[in-house]
Structure 1
Amino acid sequence: MNGEVQYISSMGELVRKDNTLQFRNNEKHRNLPVEIIKEIYCLNEITVNSKLLDFLARKGIILHFFNYYGHYSGTFYPKDKYRSGKLLIKQVDKFQNNRLDIAKTIVRGIGINIYEVLYHYYKHGKSGVKETVDWIRKEFYTNVEKADNIKVLLAVEGELWLKFYAAFKYFLPEDFIMSKRVKRKPDNPINALISFGNSLLYAKTVAVIYETHLDQRISFLHEPTETRFSLSLDISEIFKPVIVFRTIFDLVNNRKIQVEKHFDQKMKYCLLNEEGREIFIRAFEGRLESTFQHPTLKRKTSYRNAIRLDCYKLEKYIMDEQEFIPFSLKAGY
């Protein structure tokens, strides 16, 4: 796994020890390589103090927190390194005057990537997905263009995701077929996988945007709110089919994740157990680090870097009016 990213899945305490980091619990003390770490993911109850947070801030390390159910809780990161008043003003201007155009571009990008994911299964004999593939090609893009406000556009996006979920029954085992999307609390194995994967991707996107001049609070598809970084929602939506769902489909169809081994199922919710989380994280990080031939750069790059490149493309659109074209799985193969 990438040494720049550390995951902590056990309960314990994260402390500064001399000039390094140490994770402690009743079983062991583990030193973390502070000089190369960029992000730490706390997937269980982790105790921290202000001395540690000050140390992390000086080292430029981002700390993500997740709750018991695997949902993203929040991020501690050092004060913004790349504040730009000029870009902030222009980002607000784009929100006020070009929001719908940018939002449509994002939704089209989501549709393109879902289409490519499903078309892969269609090419390999899963003919049941043809109805959804044809709908995307023949109706979805037209519906996006017709949307005259954000509310209508979000309804179009919502229909896209519902049709995507409904297609799972054609290529996933019966144990992982989705009856409906349940987020909080996930009620079955497939919802547990989606919720955990989406939370990880959202946190990754928060960290990537932190390294740019973009303001996390000013989004285009999702409503800006005081309780979350809504621009991270915009960007991460584009990559969910590529990173989260392809990871899930690989793990499930190759029986690397199994219902009877890797989930804790209670009366009203279902969660990955510790072994299941570790398997998912390894696959998720592997997906982020896998490479493809970038059509513009003319060289191989990782999906992790593709998220960063989309943020830079959005910056260039805001500052220089360069066309914003989100990552396309079709172009990225």
Structure 2
Amino acid sequence: MGSTRYIVSMGELTRKDNSICFRKDGKNVYIPVENTKEIFCFNEVSINSKLLDFLSRNHVIMHFFNYYGGYSGTFYPRDQYLSGRLLIKQVELFQNNRLTIAKSIVQGIGDNIAEVLYHYYKHDKKEVKDVIDRIRKDLLNRIEEAESVEEVMSYEGEIWARFYASFQYFLPADFILNKRVKRPPDNPMNALISFGNTLLYAKTVSAIYRTHLDQRISYLHQPAERRFSLSLDISEVFKPVVVFRTIFELVNNRKLQVEKHFDRKVNYCLLNEDGRKIFVEAFEKRMETAFLHSKLKRKVTYRTAIKLDCYKLIKSILEGQEFRPFSLKEGI
């Protein structure tokens, strides 16, 4: 799957000569380090310091996830792109113009959600028109007039709630979402959203690592301890395009089915190993989907678009340019 390697089974990861070796059930699978940028571990995997040193020298990031598919943490090689000047300017932007950046992010979320829903409106799901109009004609205007980040985030919550409520018009009944529950997810749709959001968050951590931005200083989400809050900011506008389009395709085409691909217990619901493999494959395919970038006049993938949003933010920080996050409609 390109530069990303996914490990969904129990096993052991070691260095073997100049390759990464995954040992499972007495068999070795070799992963070339040259074209590996990140490793996702979704099961119990044994590692040692020799491997971590090897990954660090080759700038390979390793993400770890817990039993519920939630993000646990990242092995983050020594920063190779340190910039004290950018760090100072990034903090100054937070202090002086945080609200403007927060508004741009939530407006981007609303625009992209409306554009995703417009696809279903064009395919005779006329019921979603009210949701699209509510977002574009009301909520986005209220965001523009908001006077605090807290107010902006309340409108963001309303946008997502209306989006979730629209699922009833174009998804099978067993995937309709009544309430968003995260830790742990309590039904198949919540399980898919949590898993997809976690994948996208980790992808964004990797993208920011390869820029001069500081992961800890964010604008929409409150900077906090024990998390990379800027990754939450950058990834938000891509959720409707990458995560939810992946979910809708898998569900509506019955590639994921409740009875086959989920483990259900009394108080939680998770994708099983087969379900995760199907989702990861579709997610990676979506990340590598190319579209014509209206400003660059060339095709770029969604993976590249995430990195381009990082560069847009850097230009805003250093040069005062307006930050406009990725727009599905405009292709920028």
TM-score with structure 2 setting the length? 0.98
Corresponding residue number in structure 1 for 2:45:
46
Cα displacement (A) at 1:14:
0.8
- Distance in 1 separating the partners of 2:307 and 2:179: 32
Task: Note if 1:87 corresponds to 2:119.
Answer: no
Q: What is the deviation of 1:283?
A: 0.4
Alignment match, 2:296 = 297
The residue that corresponds to 2:272 in the other structure is 273
CA distance, structure 1, for counterparts of residue 268 and residue 82 of structure 2: 41
Kindly state the Cα deviation for residue 106 of structure 1 after the two structures are TM-superposed. 0.4
Q: Deviations over 1:12-47 (max 9, x none)?
A: 111112222111122522111111111100011111
Which residue of structure 2 aligns with residue 142 of structure 1?
141
* Partner SS for 1:284: helix
The answer to whether the aligner puts 1:151 opposite 2:150 as a matched pair is: yes
Shift of 1:145: 1.4
Paired letter, 2:201 = Y
Amino acid of the structure 2 residue aligned with 1:69? Y
Q: State how far apart, in whole Å, the 2-side matches of 1:238 and 1:121 are.
A: 19
Q: Report if aligned partners of 2:121, 2:129 keep a CA contact under 8 Å in 1.
A: yes
What does 1:103-182 correspond to in 2, within 5 Å? 103-182=102-181
Residue 116 to residue 102, structure 1, CA distance change in 2 (3 Å): same
Q: Which residue pairs with 1:30 in the alignment?
A: 29
The CA distance in 2 between the partners of 1:97 and 1:44, in whole Å, is 43
Corresponding residue of 1:184: 183
Helix, strand or coil at the partner of 1:331: coil
Partner of 1:229: 228
Letter in 2 for 1:86: R
Partners of 2:44 and 2:55 lie apart in 1 by: 18
Equivalent residues of 2:292, 2:298 under 8 A apart: yes
Q: Is the 2:18–2:32 contact (alpha carbons within 8 Å) kept by the matching residues of 1?
A: no
| One-letter code aligned to 2:108 | G
Q: TM-score, normalised by structure 1?
A: 0.98
Q: CA deviation at 1:314?
A: 0.4
> Residue 179 of structure 2: SS of its match in structure 1?
coil
Give the aligned residue type for 2:117.
L
| Aligned structure 1 segments of 4 or more residues deviating by more than 4 angstroms | none
- What per-residue deviation string (whole Å, max 9, x for no partner) do you get for residues 155-210 of structure 1? 11001000000000000000100010000001110000000000000000000000
Please say which of residues 210-219 and 14-23 is displaced more in the overlay.
Answer: 14-23
Q: Which residue of 2 aligns with 1:243?
A: 242
Contact 2:110 2:136 in 1 (8 A): no
Deviations 1:231-282 (A, max 9, x none): 0000000100000000000000011111111111111111111111011001
* Deviation digits for residues 61-113 of structure 1 (CA, Å, limit 9, x no counterpart): 00000111111111112111111000000000000000000000000000000
Q: 3-state SS of the aligned residue for 1:330?
A: coil
For 1:245-264, list aligned pairs within 5 A. Answer: 245-264=244-263
Alignment of 1:14-29 (within 5 A): 14-29=13-28
Q: Distance in 2 between matches of 1:133 and 1:241?
A: 14
Distance (whole Å) between structure 2 residues aligned to residue 149 and residue 34 of structure 1: 46
Secondary structure of the residue aligned to 1:23 is strand
**What is the rounded CA distance, in whole Å, between the counterparts of 1:120 and 1:25 in structure 2?**
43
Q: How far apart, CA to CA, are the structure 1 residues paired with 2:37 and 2:80? A: 14
Equivalent residue for 1:68? 67
CA distance in 2, matches of 1:216, 1:206: 8
Q: Secondary structure of 1:198's partner?
A: helix
Q: Which runs of 5+ in 2 are unaligned?
A: none
Mapped pair 1:194 → 2:193:
yes
Comparing 198-207 with 143-152, greater Cα deviation is found at: 143-152
Across the aligned residues of Structure 1 and Structure 2, the Cα RMSD in angstroms comes to 0.9
Structure-2 separation of matches of 1:179 and 1:315 = 39
1:146 offset after TM fit, Å? 2.1
- Deviation per CA, 1:220-239, whole angstroms, max 9, x where unpaired? 00000111000000000010
SS of residue matched to 2:330? helix
Q: CA-to-partner distance for each residue in 1:116-145, whole Å, 9 max, x for gaps?
A: 001111111111111111101210111101
Q: Which amino acid aligns with 2:207?
A: V
In the alignment, the residues of structure 1 paired with residue 311 and residue 122 of structure 2 have an alpha-carbon distance, to the nearest angstrom, of 33
**Do the aligned partners of 2:93 and 2:317 also contact (CA within 8 Å) in 1?**
yes
Partner of 1:327: 326
Aligned residue type for 2:259:
E
Amino acid at match of 1:192: A
Q: Which runs of 5+ in 1 are unaligned?
A: none
User: Which letter does structure 2 place at the counterpart of 1:141?
Assistant: L
